């Protein structure tokens, strides 16, 4: 490409505009997720709909939590620690790998929680809520997170025998409720919950980024205008 007599100046202008591309992407606001939040994961059988879980949890939330103080079929899931497992203090969701709970003795499932996804793996071929006393409308899970997360939507995917019942998947900014009452999953069936947050979707450029891009394009237009004027005078 021939940049003419003003080649060095115009070349620097092109370099400036090229540099704005990565800046536009890098300066876009990050989308928040579950990573870094405390999580209280609870399984329920035969309870009210929705279950009476907390609105939010923190490291100082006392044990036992409000979830299982008066409910018979209720279990706060344990996570592994060296040589054992525990359910309190509540764990934080890692940023690089999922939080993997040990086998839940009530629901006979394995649960993992990552930054934007929850996976529930069934380990027993039997109806969900397999005791004869189960007559309540809710058997499933509650996931309760510390303040700071901003959940806006949750979607579910999995085999037809291991999906939330109609109207059985709901969320607040800090919690997710999953009702599997009556499901009959097979061993190894996986229910995957994809979690969406405020700010998910197309990323809008910041005002400062737009301003810098416009200045760059204006400079390029001015350089082209001067070149046109020089050529006209030469003729």
- Tens digit of each residue's pLDDT (9 = 90 or more) over 3-45: 454 555 555 555 554 555 544 444 434 447 999 999 999 999 8
DSSP reduced 3-state for 230: helix
- Cα distance between residue 217 and residue 197, in whole Å: 34
Q: pTM of the prediction?
A: 0.71
Q: Express each pLDDT in 69-90 by its tens digit.
A: 667 788 999 999 999 999 888 9
DSSP reduced 3-state for 233: helix
Q: Are 166 and 122 in contact (CB under 8 A)?
A: no
How far, CA to CA in Å, does 179 sit from each of 24, 52, 53, 91? 42, 13, 14, 23
């Amino acid at each position: 490409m021939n940049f003419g007599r003003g080649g060095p100046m115009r070349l620097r202008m092109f370099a400036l505009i090229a540099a704005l591309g990565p800046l536009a992407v890098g300066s876009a606001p990050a989308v928040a997720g579950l990573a870094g939040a405390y999580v209280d994961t609870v399984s329920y059988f035969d309870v009210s709909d929705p279950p009476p879980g907390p609105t939010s949890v923190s490291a100082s939330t006392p044990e036992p939590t409000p979830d299982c103080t008066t409910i018979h079929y209720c279990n706060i899931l344990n996570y592994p620690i060296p040589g054992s497992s525990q359910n309190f203090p509540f764990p934080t969701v890692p940023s690089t790998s999922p939080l993997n709970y040990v086998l839940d003795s009530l629901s006979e499932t394995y649960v993992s929680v990552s930054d934007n996804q929850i996976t529930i793996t069934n380990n027993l071929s039997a109806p969900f809520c397999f005791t004869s006393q189960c007559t309540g409308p809710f058997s499933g899970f509650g996931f309760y997170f510390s303040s700071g997360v901003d959940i806006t939507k949750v979607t579910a995917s999995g085999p037809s025998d291991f999906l939330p019942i109609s109207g059985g998947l709901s969320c607040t900014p800090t919690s997710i409720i999953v009702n599997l009452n009556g499901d009959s999953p097979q061993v190894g069936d996986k229910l995957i919950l994809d979690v969406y947050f405020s700010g998910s979707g197309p990323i809008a450029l910041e005002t400062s980024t737009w301003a810098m891009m416009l200045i760059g394009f204006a400079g390029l237009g001015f350089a082209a205008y001067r070149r046109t004027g020089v050529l006209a005078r030469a003729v």
